[in-house]
Structure 1
């Protein structure tokens, strides 16, 4: 069912952030509010400049702009390049689905989620950076894809629940990868600490 992945993942995130995340974390309230707003706005849509937009996607795009605007010029330029790479990848993927659907060997949402997760991981080193370039890049891709289809008089709503499914899946994959990365660092440091302790005791 379209949208089920999005709602399950976002509600799980919201429950974790609200009830299980460290209350001293300065991002806790902001993350909970943003997650809840994305869920609430997911069915809100409107028409502007001849295109149909869903509010959740635009909210995420504006939020990514606000966060990116706080970066220094060099970091901002690199983020823009990374976002542009994801935009081109997103549009290309969707065009391949139209013109040559045979190569879509399993569910489209999973293919997109895995591909964009790998790209974001290769382009950025932090979870925050990966989420920012993924969100801005894919939303730009949605807009450019809608403009391209409009030339052939096909309507394509931007930021639909289908896009949010891909968004939720990719966020889940990126968060899971970040946990694995940090777990590796934690165990490496923990083992080194134990090794030093044994050396001192001997």
Structure 2
């Protein structure tokens, strides 16, 4: 699969959702503008101290920090982001040295591992989960680039492969949230039905 294809598809889907589907709130405009900034910076990179950094990566990391700064449990969420950062770095190192990736699709395996671990350790709020994961994998991408550069293997920080993983993670989180919401709704309907059936039996 061409690197960046999933990124562009899913990013435009998110922008369409924020612009035309999401309820009219202040956050809707902010999120839609944020996605557009990331899309516009996808083909532009800057060089800082010899490191090539995609502009979209800076927009993503900055947005994640702003989202996390609004958290009521800042220190706990920062610890969760640190955990995700270490996990992301471990996966990247594993990807480079473990031959199992030759048999599996790393485009989907890495996001699945991150989402699975993140859902276990993180808070219940959806936007808290998003901010924790985005900041964690952004930091992990940066630290992984620093480690690889020590072996004279400098790569573009925040390239298309990274953003493909980011968008897959977001859509996996959205999928889990939808499944959880359906589960809660079905359970509530079942409880109402069970309660009404009990009332009818008593009559």
Q: Distance in 2 between matches of 1:169 and 1:152?
A: 29
Pairing of 1:1-202 with structure 2 (within 5 A):
1-23=2-24, 25-72=25-72, 75-103=73-101, 105-124=103-122, 125-199=124-198, 202=203
Q: CA RMSD in A?
A: 1.8
Q: Deviations over 1:93-144 (max 9, x none)?
A: 1111222233553111101110111122112222112111111111111111
Q: Deviations over 1:16-46 (max 9, x none)?
A: 22222233x4432222222222211111210
Q: Distance in 2 between matches of 1:102 and 1:115?
A: 14
Q: Distance in 2 between matches of 1:110 and 1:151?
A: 28
Q: Distance in 2 between matches of 1:68 and 1:181?
A: 23
For residue 139 of structure 2, give the secondary structure of its aligned residue in structure 1.
Answer: helix
Aligned length: 199
Q: Deviations over 1:43-87 (max 9, x none)?
A: 121001211111111111111112222234xx2111111111111
Q: Scaled by the length of structure 1, what TM-score is found?
A: 0.90
Moved over 4 A (4+): 197-202
For residue 46 of structure 2, give the secondary structure of its aligned residue in structure 1.
Answer: strand
Greater CA drift, 191-200 or 96-105: 191-200
The alpha-carbon distance between structure 1 residues 147 and 19, as it changes in their structure 2 partners (threshold 3 A), is: same
Q: Distance in 2 between matches of 1:7 and 1:49?
A: 29
Q: Distance in 2 between matches of 1:197 and 1:22?
A: 34
The 8 Å contact of residues 123 and 130 in structure 1, kept in 2 or not, is answered as: no
The 8 Å contact of residues 68 and 128 in structure 2, kept in 1 or not, is answered as: no
Give unpaired runs (5+ residues) of structure 2.
Answer: none
